[in-house]
Structure 1
């Protein structure tokens, strides 16, 4: 009697009610039903959905290395901006913008890097691309706006261009014309810098120095004026002053190409040849193909008695017509025709 009650209390197959079930499973099923459910066909909508999820997952995984790499370059670019390493920032952010041309945050930082690297055409091009776009970082927006306000100083005004057309180029305008033009256009910085540059080429260093001082009174950070000042002071043998203007350039851009090159040459003129070598190498790493950089390194090799290195780099440079122009000065220093120190 007890055995009959125990058998009656045991449930049958949950699907068909068959009394013989497969034991050892949470759900009581007979062998036939369990096999049927295992082979139960997956509905097509579920299959399609699963397929779409798989495609999306594969696409995401395929693009993960690229997205991750871009994110790393972007963070490196931002960090370089924070440390005033604008050559590095340009390199990192260029990679980001190449992969994601619509990434405006990267372009905003690239605007700053372009201005500090004196790549003014890129600076204006990026400003045009960002026109009408909102810059959420207020400090970044303020810095970009300040640079945009100073940018016209790097180009001739329409009135100066009208004079240049008469003489066919800015460099062809006589010095006397610049002397007459500047007092009546005191708000313009570019004409004074152009005038100072012409005075420097004429080796009228004293007059050039005075004009550049006036330029820097108008714009304390006017990079082209600081560049000429660093070289001018070296020509005047005012070497501490030359370093001062090199350091001014480097305070604006820790990777200033001209600042590092000029500082290397000033150290060499002071006969501090090891320091000159160090700065020349630092400069060379920034722009390995630039003729001024190569000429600076050749000078450093010369004064550090690394003659084979000097001759090798000069032999390579002399195969290029542009580099030969800069190397002619190095040749004159080596031959004694030009007194460097």
Structure 2
């Protein structure tokens, strides 16, 4: 006998409308469920295998959830890093901000907002070599944040004004290396008269030339004039600090460094210059503390390493001095000026101060 139809055969009666199992007709339906089924049929239904489509769909949903969970932490971390970058930037901590934005770019390499923020902070930290690659990625892209657009535009303006070297100026710089001082000075003056729009970068290099040949008064006058109209030229401010320091005007030199640090409290080159000013002024402990701060912020610059070595020397710490000298010699940037300076100071052959 077919048990599935037994109840239908025994109790089927058109005259009565008792609730029955919708599958086999058994009047003993299981209470508490919307679908009317007896206990036996309900158990059979629950033991049925899932169709393959439902199985595959379920697996796909689980896979999507797993992938989302895998990527969610890194996406969340990138968001946190970006917020930290904004906070650091608002506090003038551009090294910290730059590091945070690099984390975001690593996770989202095509993020226009992250790249733009990294571009701005890289400039603020004097990481000029990184700007070209970042600018190439940003060129032609749309930035929806108006305040960020403004910062990028101002950064590009300063970059062009203070760091761009025209072919003509570059040619003069190359020629000046093999000229006597008077001819080189004349060449610079002629160029600046002819290219007044390029006065910022040309004036800076002209000031360096005058400084290098010992024309400190002339260099001071040239750089002071340039900074009156362009005080946000950080390299100009630090060059002026070096000139003031050489002339014994230590407070003015300190003021120049502090001007830069007011805008970026983590500008390693400002701390480096300030450390040399302090050491020149025989403030050896103070100079060592400042030199360590510069090194803490930037260990990739040979000049900063040289300053720390000199600071250790004047604080009679020869072990650390020699370690820094050894580290300096591993650089491949041909910084012969600082090498000669250190060797002269350490041997006693050169009276730096």
Q: TM-score range by the shorter chain?
A: 0.7 to 0.9
1:182 aligned partner: 192
Pairing partner for 1:109 from 113, 117, 125: 117
Mark the runs of 5 or more structure 2 residues left unpaired by the alignment. Answer: 1-15
Q: Is contact 1:13–1:19 with CA below 8 Å preserved after alignment?
A: yes
Q: Distance in 2 between matches of 1:323 and 1:183?
A: 32
Pairing partner for 1:60 from 55, 64, 68: 68
Q: Is contact 1:15–1:29 with CA below 8 Å preserved after alignment?
A: yes
Alignment of 1:256 onto 2:267: yes
1:329 aligned partner: 341
2:217 aligned partner: 206
Q: CA deviation at 1:31?
A: 3.8
Task: Rate the CA distance shift 1:54–1:186 in 2: closer, same or farther, 3 A.
Answer: same
2:208 aligned partner: 197
Deviations 1:102-160 (A, max 9, x none): 10010111121122123334334433432333322222222222222233222223443
Q: 3-state DSSP class of the match of 1:16?
A: coil
Mark the runs of 5 or more structure 1 residues left unpaired by the alignment. Answer: 1-7
Task: Rate the CA distance shift 1:28–1:150 in 2: closer, same or farther, 3 A.
Answer: closer
User: C-alpha root-mean-square deviation of aligned residues, in Å?
Assistant: 2.8
Q: Distance in 1 between matches of 2:324 and 2:137?
A: 41
Pairing partner for 2:350 from 327, 338, 341: 338
Pairing partner for 1:86 from 76, 94, 98: 94
Moved more, 31-40 or 315-324: 315-324
1:157 aligned partner: 166
Q: CA deviation at 1:93?
A: 1.6
Q: Distance in 2 between matches of 1:101 and 1:109?
A: 13
**TM-score between both structures, scaled by the size of structure 1:** 0.86
Q: Distance in 1 between matches of 2:274 and 2:174?
A: 35
Aligned length: 331
Moved more, 306-315 or 26-35: 26-35
Deviations 1:313-341 (A, max 9, x none): 22443455646752331232233332233
Task: Rate the CA distance shift 1:18–1:78 in 2: closer, same or farther, 3 A.
Answer: same
Alignment of 1:48 onto 2:56: yes
Q: CA deviation at 1:207?
A: 0.8
**TM-score between both structures, scaled by the size of structure 2:** 0.83
Q: Distance in 2 between matches of 1:286 and 1:298?
A: 16
Q: CA deviation at 1:57?
A: 0.8
Q: Distance in 2 between matches of 1:311 and 1:232?
A: 28
Deviations 1:194-225 (A, max 9, x none): 11111111121111111101211231211221
Moved more, 134-143 or 226-235: 134-143
Q: Is contact 2:305–2:327 with CA below 8 Å preserved after alignment?
A: no
